[in-house]
């Protein structure tokens, strides 16, 4: 059936060999089957429009594919779909200094966008460990967050305009890079976080900003999780934070072992907070640190003395996910309001400890955003299937705690295949009905990333 692809693309834009299917058919999840029927590489918006028209005619399912760094299976092709890779649509199309807007194709890699912004004397602040391979289209489709959300917000906040090919093949141009535009429904925001289920994001106008001062990094050893929140409040009252991240002692052990890094402090603490802030705020930060020490919240701390040391301290946080990947972890990406975090972490930690006294539980996350990453590590020798089955037994109980606190079962990693069947813990049946109706309007042929986010 995919022979029809040859009608609308050139041979060099289509791959069907086993290695390519495996490579482009998967994201960073490893728990779903990978079985696409072809991978295609459009060069232009016209190619995408033709592909969508063809898919509707021939009944092909299309899976949009960016840097494939997702953690929820949103870009996995498990059922004979055609993967549509944006690797060839990777050009910066223009920059308008007066608007501080850069226009990119969807396949521009995040780090390339950051570098381009720096060349213009400006700054693109959305940043995460995968910025070397994630693409701007995927970031928009998942409303990617990352490590500077506390100061700069999420990807959504930087999208000023969006060109989209909907599932019915219509090309729509949303918001035109305007700041003010009170003309009704802002369709741009419908596509941000839509996980490729409504259409293909082909181009975006991205806002840039003034670069910050050089940043300092502080790592603090904290006595109790509750105190991490007290430390956050104390620093936030004193200065503007660019980041406020957290990790547990176990997470620190894993990342230092994996990357051969030095421990940040002389002693061990149950939890660590990593803070980033403007160099000019150093005295305010020192005062806040003294206050936290006096309260007994913090036991020790280190402040970066150079850019190289700051980068090394960041590795302690950014390297965690990669350092535990070899344990085939069971992952959760949860959000509650910041005020609810201590009680929530206590509840979920107790639940996990009681259910799996034999498993290692690794906590880290973006505390400043109310976002916790829970990773349960598979013991060596236990088969992956048996491990995931055991973990899934308590998923509903974790999600009940999330629902009780009106939290989110996916703070920043998206729903994809991984969380799809649990969406009702975070979205009401009325909301789900609206989402399904929107899907029907924009993708009536159900060709766009079927089975992701919504069941159909």
Residues near ligand 2HG, by CB under 6 A = 71, 129, 320-321, 331, 373, 375
Residues 6+ apart with CB under 8 A from 396: 422, 425
**Residue number with CB closer to ligand 2HG (331 or 439):** 331
Helix (H) or strand (E) holding 247: strand 241-248
**Residue number with CB closer to ligand 2HG (407 or 450):** 407
**Residue number with CB closer to ligand 2HG (86 or 314):** 314
* Nearest distance from C-beta of residue 418 to ligand 2HG, angstroms: 11
* Nearest distance from C-beta of residue 16 to ligand 2HG, angstroms: 32
**Residue number with CB closer to ligand 2HG (105 or 321):** 321
**CA dist 92 to 137, 141, 205, Å?**
13, 18, 10
β-pairing verdict for 92-96 and 82-85: unpaired
Locate 357 and state its tokens.
């006294």
* Nearest distance from C-beta of residue 208 to ligand 2HG, angstroms: 23
**Residue number with CB closer to ligand 2HG (177 or 329):** 329
Work out the number of other CB atoms within 10 angstroms of the CB of residue 117: 22
Q: List the beta strands (DSSP E) in 115-189.
A: 159-166, 171-174
* Nearest distance from C-beta of residue 334 to ligand 2HG, angstroms: 10
**Residue number with CB closer to ligand 2HG (178 or 325):** 325
Q: How far apart are CA 96 and CA 404, in angstroms?
A: 46
In DSSP notation, 398-439 reads: HHHHHHHTT-BSBSSS--TTTTGGGGGGTS-HHHHHHHHHHH
**Residue number with CB closer to ligand 2HG (207 or 366):** 366
Can you tell me which residue has the tokens 């974790």? 398
Locate 41 and state its tokens.
């590489």
**Residue number with CB closer to ligand 2HG (135 or 375):** 375
In DSSP notation, 5-46 reads: HHHHS-GGGEE-SHHHHHHHT--S--SS----SEEE---SHH
* Nearest distance from C-beta of residue 65 to ligand 2HG, angstroms: 19
Q: How far apart are CA 442 and CA 196, in angstroms?
A: 11
* Nearest distance from C-beta of residue 15 to ligand 2HG, angstroms: 29
* Nearest distance from C-beta of residue 32 to ligand 2HG, angstroms: 16
Residue with the CB atom nearest ligand 2HG in the bound state: 321
* Nearest distance from C-beta of residue 144 to ligand 2HG, angstroms: 9
């Amino acid at each position: 059936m995919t022979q029809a692809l040859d009608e609308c693309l050139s041979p060099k834009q289509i791959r069907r060999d086993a290695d390519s299917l495996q490579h482009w058919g998967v994201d960073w999840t490893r728990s779903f089957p990978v079985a696409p029927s072809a991978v295609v590489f459009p060069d232009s918006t016209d190619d995408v429009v033709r592909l969508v028209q063809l898919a509707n005619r021939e009944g092909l399912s299309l899976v949009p594919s960016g840097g494939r760094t997702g953690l929820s299976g949103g870009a996995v092709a498990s059922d004979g779909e055609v993967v549509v890779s944006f690797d060839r649509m990777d050009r910066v199309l223009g920059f308008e200094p007066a608007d501080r807007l850069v226009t990119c194709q969807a396949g521009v890699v995040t780090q390339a966008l950051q570098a381009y912004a720096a060349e213009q004397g400006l700054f693109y602040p959305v940043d995460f460990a995968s910025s070397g391979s994630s693409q701007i289209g995927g970031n928009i489709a998942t409303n990617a967050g990352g490590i500077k959300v506390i100061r700069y917000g999420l990807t959504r906040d930087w999208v000023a305009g969006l060109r989209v090919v909907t599932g019915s093949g219509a090309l729509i141009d949303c918001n035109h890079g305007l700041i003010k535009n009170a003309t009704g429904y802002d369709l741009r925001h419908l596509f941000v976080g839509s996980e490729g289920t409504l259409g293909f994001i082909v181009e975006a106008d991205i806002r840039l900003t003034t670069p910050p001062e050089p940043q300092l990094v502080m790592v603090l050893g904290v006595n109790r999780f509750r105190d991490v929140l007290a430390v956050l409040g104390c620093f936030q009252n004193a200065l503007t934070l660019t980041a406020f991240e957290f990790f547990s002692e176990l997470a620190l052990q894993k990342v230092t072992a994996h990357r051969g890094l030095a421990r940040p402090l002389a002693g061990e603490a149950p939890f660590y907070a990593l803070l980033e802030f403007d160099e000019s705020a150093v005295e305010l930060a020192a005062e806040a640190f003294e206050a936290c020490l006096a309260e007994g919240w913090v036991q020790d701390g280190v402040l970066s003395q150079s850019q190289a040391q700051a980068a090394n301290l960041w590795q302690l946080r950014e390297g965690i996910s990669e350092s535990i990947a070899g344990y085939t972890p069971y992952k959760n990406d949860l959000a509650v309001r910041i005020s609810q975090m201590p009680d929530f972490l206590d509840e979920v930690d107790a639940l996990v400890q009681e259910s799996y006294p034999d498993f290692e539980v690794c906590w880290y996350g973006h505390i400043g955003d109310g976002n916790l990453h829970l990773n349960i590590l598979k013991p060596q020798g236990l088969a992956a299937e048996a491990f995931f089955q055991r973990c899934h037994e308590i998923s509903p109980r974790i999600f009940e705690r999330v629902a009780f606190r009106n939290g989110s079962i996916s703070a920043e990693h998206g729903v994809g295949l991984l969380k799809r069947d649990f969406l009702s813990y975070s979205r009401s049946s009325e909301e789900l009905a609206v989402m399904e109706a929107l899907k029907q309007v924009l993708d009536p042929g159900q060709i766009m990333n079927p089975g992701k986010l919504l069941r159909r």
